[in-house]
Structure 1
């Protein structure tokens, strides 16, 4: 298996049917749980879209301008699986494609822009400008199996050994882990999204909950660990 970050994450999964990533948003009431198989299928669709429709090759730049969400995790995993170098945070260079929200369209000028709805069912976005692709329409039609043709430079350059060492001291492979740690920059994506998945944890990520609610979610999810900022 080609050593993209996504291949490394999925390679740590012992049982593809068990939950790999669960997303809570207390502001909207959303709870979405994805098994490794389901999240892998979404990542494959995105990787196939990037390779077959956009023409992204290993090493090409893909810009991801999205807040934390299960669809954001799928986009990141799909881009890494395609071998792309993922760009997050402040970046002024040219990317082959940009994934963003409808509210951030004015901040981007790329040949290929995909609007991600960030809703529980990945439904389509309405009234998009001409030339802007809808995530649901663009990605859903592609296959949910993917065979990497090569890996470019590892996204985010690398996952720092310090991030992996910290997570390995906090969680165990196969453990259900509730986290409120942000992952909206290169460093925090590496430390708080990738590192737990790379050590084989099942990650439950929660937005907008106070400490009491986080503890209640941890009890409901039978989590063995809670990670706070």
Structure 2
């Protein structure tokens, strides 16, 4: 049976713990591979942070002011695992702002600053007072999800560019367990990006994500793209 909740999805992903589920090709040759076990670990830690720091649960609104990126996938899955709502920036009031640009946050915001480079151990710039530096904070939380509020299927899971409840979040799984090559777009398209990734994972597939700069380079270098497709065993392009 296909998963009907993000909790079900995470259980599916760790049935084959060593299988790659999200592979990221970033700028300057950065490559990050998250197996099912590693992805599940990141999501568990991030969910615990959201619950313990912000009491995240049904009705909590979390803005993801991030571009298409593997870290954005982790944060979205964690918000949904907590039963909360991913809000498009500008789509009304939020309880928590998760951003890679914390300098622009309002003094009223509860801010989590996310450094995107894989090897970042802290956010590179000064943070607003009270902001949480995700690079260090996430790793201090448990590898197993602790208490979370009971999921309300009717509660909002997405609000803004697309509106969906938790009951509707996983209704479009990909038909086959493909290894999908997908360009990660800008933050203005992050909801579509997240839904594409979610559909592939819910269909028991995996994704190979390329940053905008890498996508442009591959478009101009067909042999390099062919080598990537072969080495990553890509079976479909998203």
User: Would you say same fold, with TM above 0.5?
Assistant: yes
8 Å CA contact retained: 1:182, 1:188: no
* CA distance 1:81–1:176, shift in 2 (3 Å): same
SS in 2 for 1:11: helix
Query: Which whole-Å deviations, capped at 9, do the CAs of 1:25-58 have from their partners, x for residues lacking one?
Result: 1x32111000111111111111111111222222
Equivalent positions of 1:1-229 (< 5 A) are 5-13=5-13, 14-25=15-26, 27-93=27-93, 95-101=94-100, 103-126=101-124, 127-147=126-146, 148-152=148-152, 153-156=155-158, 157=164, 158-159=168-169, 161=171, 164=172, 167-168=174-175, 172-173=176-177, 175-180=178-183, 182=185, 184=187, 185=189, 187-207=191-211, 208-209=214-215, 210-211=218-219, 212=222, 213-227=224-238
* CA distance 1:41–1:86, shift in 2 (3 Å): same
* CA distance 1:58–1:12, shift in 2 (3 Å): same
8 Å CA contact retained: 1:61, 1:86: yes
TM-score between the two structures when normalised by the length of structure 2: 0.80
* CA distance 1:110–1:121, shift in 2 (3 Å): farther
List alignment gaps of at least 5 residues for structure 2.
Answer: 159-163
Tell me, in whole angstroms, the C-alpha distance in 2 between the residues paired with 1:106 and 1:54: 20
Query: Which stretches of structure 1, 4 residues or longer, exceed 2 Å deviation after superposition?
Result: 3-6, 11-14, 107-111, 158-161, 181-187, 208-211, 213-216
* CA distance 1:180–1:44, shift in 2 (3 Å): same
Aligned residues: 215
Tell me, in whole angstroms, the C-alpha distance in 1 between the residues paired with 2:108 and 2:201: 31
8 Å CA contact retained: 1:113, 1:133: yes
SS in 1 for 2:42: helix
